[in-house]
Amino acid sequence: MTDDVLRVRDVTQRFGHGAGAMTALDDVSLAVRRGETLGLVGESGSGKSTLARAILLMRRPTQGSIEFDGADVTGLRGGALRRHRRRVQMVFQDPNDSLDPRFTVARSIAEPLVAAGVGPKERNRRIADWLDRVGLPMDAARRYPHEFSGGQRQRIAIARAMAAGPEFVVLDEPTSALDVSVQAQVLNLLVQLQRETGTTYLFITHNLSVVHHIAHRVAVMHRGRVVEEGTGEQVMNAPEHPYTRKLLESMPVLYRT
C-alpha cells in the first residue's frame, strides 16, 4: 500500500452561474505520497492555484473531496478546521504576501507557533532554530522584512511555514520572482529541509526545468484538468499528452534533454 498524505478526489470547482459559469477545476484527482514532492505544472489559467486553494481548504469545492491521512477534511469547520490548518502550510511566490511589513521576523515566525499553542520559551527556541536552518543570522529575528533581500525574505517565509512542523507544505511558485542564482539557493534549501523533516511538498510552478529538478512526481494541468501524471523522468522524456509535448517543445533548448 502506498502511503498517501493527501488525496484529491474528483474535485470540480465552478465559478459563476448560467451562461457566465466557468469550470476552473474539472474532475481533478491527485494523490501525494508522504515525504515526496509532487510538482504541479501548468500555464496561467490552468487551475493550479485554484487547486492549491481547494487543498488548503480556503475554498470549498463545488464537488469532490479532499482527504488528509485517509480522512475527509473537506467539510471541517471551527476547532477541527483550525487544528487541521496546523498540519498544512503555504509559501507564496511573493514572500511579502505572508510577511507583515510591521512585524519583526521573530513575530512572523512566531505567529503559526502561537496558533499551534506553543509556549513562549519553546517558541523562542524554535525561532532561533529555524533562522539557523534557513541560513539567516540570529540577529535577523529582531529585524523587519524590508531589511532583507528577496531571497532572504523567501527564506523567512519558509521558516515561518516550517516552524510549526507541518506535514504538508504548498509552495506556490516560490522561486519564480528570484534570480537564478538565488533560485538555486532556495531550491537547495527546500530539498535539504525535506530530507531533514520528511515534510511533503506540493510544488506549483510554470517552470518545467525547476519541477524536473525538485519533484519526485509531476502532474501537468491544462484547462482545469490533470492531463498527465508521472515521475519527472517520464513526463520530461516520454510525455504522452499532446499538451505536455507542446509545453516541452516551447521550452528553450538549454533546458531540454
Partner 1 sequence: MTDATDALRVDDLSIAYGGAPPSVSGVSLRVRRGEIVGVIGESGSGKSSIALAMMGLLPDSARVTAASMEIAGAEMQGASERDWCRVRGVKASMVFQEPMSALNPCMRIGAQIAEVLRIHGKADRRQARARALEILELVQMPDAAQRLDYYPHQLSGGQRQRVVIAIAVAAGPSLLVADEPTTALDVTVQAQILELIKSLRDETGMGVLFISHDLGVIGQLCERVAVMYRGRIVETGAARRVLEDPRHPYTRALLESIPRPSVPVRSPLAVIPAVNDFAEVPPVLEEAS
36 belongs to the binding site for partner 1 (CB under 8 A):
no
> Any idea what DSSP says for residue 3?
-
With H, G, I as helix, E, B as strand and everything else as coil, classify residue 250. helix
The rounded distance, in Å, linking the Cα atoms of 216 and 38 is 6
95 belongs to the binding site for partner 1 (CB under 8 A):
no
Query: Between the CA of residue 158 and those of 99, 150, 161, 185, 191, what are the distances in Å?
Result: 11, 12, 5, 13, 12
Q: Tell me the closest approach of the beta carbon of residue 76 to partner 1, in angstroms.
A: 33
197 belongs to the binding site for partner 1 (CB under 8 A):
no
Cβ neighbours of residue 125 under 8 Å, at least 6 residues apart?
none
**Binds partner 1 (CB under 8 A): choice among 89, 183, 200, 244:** 183
Contact code string over 198-217 relative to partner 1, x by CB under 8 A: --------x-xxx-xxx---
With H, G, I as helix, E, B as strand and everything else as coil, classify residue 78. helix
82 belongs to the binding site for partner 1 (CB under 8 A):
no
Q: What residues numbered 135-164 form the site for partner 1, per CB under 8 A?
A: none
Nearer to partner 1 by Cβ, of 23 and 185: the residue is: 185
Nearer to partner 1 by Cβ, of 128 and 191: the residue is: 191
| Closest among 222, 162, 217, 218 to 186, alpha carbons compared | 162
Nearer to partner 1 by Cβ, of 77 and 146: the residue is: 146
Q: Tell me the closest approach of the beta carbon of residue 245 to partner 1, in angstroms.
A: 11
Nearer to partner 1 by Cβ, of 65 and 96: the residue is: 96
225 belongs to the binding site for partner 1 (CB under 8 A):
no
Nearer to partner 1 by Cβ, of 118 and 211: the residue is: 211
The rounded distance, in Å, linking the Cα atoms of 45 and 226 is 13
The rounded distance, in Å, linking the Cα atoms of 241 and 238 is 9
The rounded distance, in Å, linking the Cα atoms of 28 and 137 is 42
The rounded distance, in Å, linking the Cα atoms of 61 and 59 is 6
Nearer to partner 1 by Cβ, of 139 and 249: the residue is: 249
Q: Which residues in this chain contact partner 1 in the complex, by CB under 8 A? A: 43-44, 179-181, 183-185, 187-188, 191, 206, 208-210, 212-214, 232, 236, 246-247, 249-257
